[in-house]
Amino acid sequence: MIGNIITGLSAAPIPPSVTVDYLVVAGGGGGGGGIGGGGGAGGLRCTVTATGGGGSLESAITLDLSTNYTVTVGAGGAGGDNSTRGVSGSNSVFSTITSTAGGAGGSGQTGETQQNGLTGGSGGGQGASNSPQNNAAGTANQGFAGGNFLSGGGGAGGGASAVGGNGSSALGGNGGAGVATSITGSSVTYAGGGGGGAYQGTGGSGGAGGGGAGTGNDNVGTAGTVNRGGGGGAGGYNASGANGGAGGSGIVILKYVDTKTITIGAGLTGSTTSASGYSITTVTAGTGNVSWA
């Protein structure tokens, strides 16, 4: 009798699902002003080609159909003014995946308040000080540390694939490079660090992947590229106006079989294309829910 009862039991039905590859890039940090440090790139997590921080490629996730999943695209942080560091970016989110905001670039020329760069997905570079400072760390498997201030040049922001460069005599450090991924079918580089500022010299270049260039003298650092998660470039030296550039906003890209249909909810800005049996949804701004059927 017991055997018959067990034999008669049926397994619980497996809910229908979709497997999703993703790229999730957070907003980049703003560059510091006043011989500042470059902003750190937004943290980068990806299941296609490569991921950030030198980590192992992440795995696609399997999600239930007809279920809402949160998506947030992190904004870039504002640049700092002549005597303040920038502002760190904002996190980007897809379901259980969170990429950490890029760290703000440090600031503080001689005679002004000196503020360290901040840790983040990639760390912000260090701004001016009377002695070298410890660089700001990145987040494991998302990005790298920022560079240090040395001899009149601000440290650069870290990128998803490289540490930000140190400053040198009258030269800002060069931003850490980002990571290239082909999740859309074409190789695109994301999450480069911002270049460091300089004292009466030349600012550092922005890291590949949307990092903004730093500057010297009284110029304003270049902003990170929108939807690349690049750090903002740092400002140079002046009594006023040597501001850092803003960090670039992040992005969320989702890839899944084209037999499934996505719904992009209110509050999100996004679009979907199809190629070679897959649909690719790119979300460029906002926060809200997505679901599949």
DSSP string, 242-271: -PPPPPPP-EEEEEEETTS-EEEPTTEEEE
Using only C-alpha atoms, what is the Rg of the chain? 21
Return the ∠ at Cα 195 (arms to 194 and 196), rounded to 5°: 120
What's the distance, CA 196 to chain centroid? 17
Nearest-angstrom CA–CA distance, 231 and 254: 23
Q: Is the Cβ–Cβ distance between 73 and 284 less than 8 Å?
A: yes
From 202, 225, 199, 228, select the one nearest 214 (Cα to Cα).
202
> How many other C-beta atoms are found inside a 10 Å radius of the C-beta of residue 257?
11
pLDDT in tens, the chain (293 residues): 444 444 444 555 667 999 999 999 999 999 999 889 999 999 999 999 999 999 999 999 999 999 999 999 999 999 998 878 999 999 999 999 999 999 999 987 655 567 889 999 999 999 876 555 678 999 999 999 999 998 888 999 999 999 999 998 889 999 999 999 999 999 999 999 999 999 888 999 999 999 999 998 778 999 999 999 999 999 988 766 689 999 999 999 999 999 999 999 999 999 999 989 999 999 999 999 999 99
CA distances in angstroms from 75 to 17, 23, 179, 246, listed in the order given: 30, 16, 19, 10
Nearest-angstrom CA–CA distance, 243 and 224: 14
> How many other C-beta atoms are found inside a 10 Å radius of the C-beta of residue 67?
14
Nearest-angstrom CA–CA distance, 116 and 134: 9
Residue 128: the pLDDT is 78
Nearest-angstrom CA–CA distance, 200 and 179: 32
Which DSSP string do the residues of 62-125 spell out, in sequence order? Answer: EEETT--EEEEPPPPPPPP-TTS-------EEETTEEEPPPPPPPB--TTS--B----SSSPPP
From 234, 259, 257, select the one nearest 35 (Cα to Cα).
234
Nearest-angstrom CA–CA distance, 20 and 5: 39
> How many other C-beta atoms are found inside a 10 Å radius of the C-beta of residue 270?
21
